[in-house]
Amino acid sequence: MSTRPLLVLVVLLSILALVGGQRLLNSSFGQTWMPTKDYYPNSPIYAIDRLGERLDLLFSDAGEERFELCLQFAQEKFLETIRMVHIDEPGHAWIAAGLHEDYLIRGAHEIDAKPRPDTATQRARYVRALIERIEILAEVYPELPRKTRVFSLIPLVSTTLEHYDEQRLRMSDEEAAAFTESRRKLRRLVEQMRDADQRSVLQESLATAKTIQL
């Protein structure tokens, strides 16, 4: 009988233990788990990390615990997307952005899955997380490769704003009023990103014209 399947299983379980151990260690010290270079979409072991996420969700309690995991994983995918755009890998950035939206959807589902006293608090945390992502993105956006950022980040911005609007509609008037100014700010930040794209296109056009003249 071949021992190869057993060896493969042992190696797989060892890797899962390392991934899970790092998550547990960081969470034990109250830190937000952040992706390392080993856990980006262009890594050979990214699938192992994704499996770890699925297992975390599978064994989590529905409601608060699962909601927190969805927010955490969505944040990871958001940062992975930016990293992949930064190194000009649009395909991997697209993958991370899609996973980001998946976790947003799952997180929103956990908010309204069952009526709970903390539903309003969870919804407000969810909305604030989305606001923070647009703020971060607007800050780094001009420094990222234009074509890759347009391909990968514009859809991410659109889906983030859609989830923001959806959750605001589910708030009471009093709860939604607390985010009125935030919506205006988000519009300004999106306009800044659009302006950055227009400036980049203009600069590229001028550079091309100079090259032709030479």
State residue 12's pLDDT score: 52
Within a domain: 113? yes
State residue 38's pLDDT score: 57
Cα 84 to chain centroid, rounded = 12
Within a domain: 162? yes
54 to 58, 77, 146, 157: CA distances (angstroms)? 6, 14, 33, 25
Q: What is the mean pLDDT of residues 149-166?
A: 93
* Nearest C-alpha neighbor of 57 from the set 81, 44, 76: 76
Q: What residues contact residue 30 under an 8 Å CB cut-off, 6+ apart?
A: none
Q: What is the mean pLDDT of residues 58-87?
A: 93
pTM assigned to the model: 0.78
State residue 27's pLDDT score: 41
Residue 26 pLDDT exceeds 80: no
Domain encompassing residue 38: 32-213
Residue 166 pLDDT exceeds 80: yes
Task: Let me know: does 67 contact 61? Beta carbons within 8 Å.
Answer: no
> Which comes out higher in pLDDT, residue 208 or 88?
88
Taking the C-alpha atoms of residue 56 and residue 33, their distance in angstroms, rounded to an integer, is: 13
CB atoms within 10 A of CB 82: 22
Residue 16 pLDDT exceeds 70: no
Burial (CB count <10 Å: 0-12, 13-18, 19+), residue 122: buried
114 to 33, 63, 73: CA distances (angstroms)? 27, 8, 21
Within a domain: 21? no
State residue 2's pLDDT score: 44
Within a domain: 14? no
Domain count, the chain: 1
Within a domain: 17? no
Within a domain: 80? yes
pLDDT band of residue 202 (cuts 50, 70, 90) is confident
State residue 24's pLDDT score: 42
Within a domain: 6? no
Within a domain: 10? no
Of 8-12, 29-33, 126-130, 175-179, which has the strongest mean pLDDT?
126-130
Task: Let me know: does 116 contact 41? Beta carbons within 8 Å.
Answer: no
pLDDT band of residue 21 (cuts 50, 70, 90) is very low
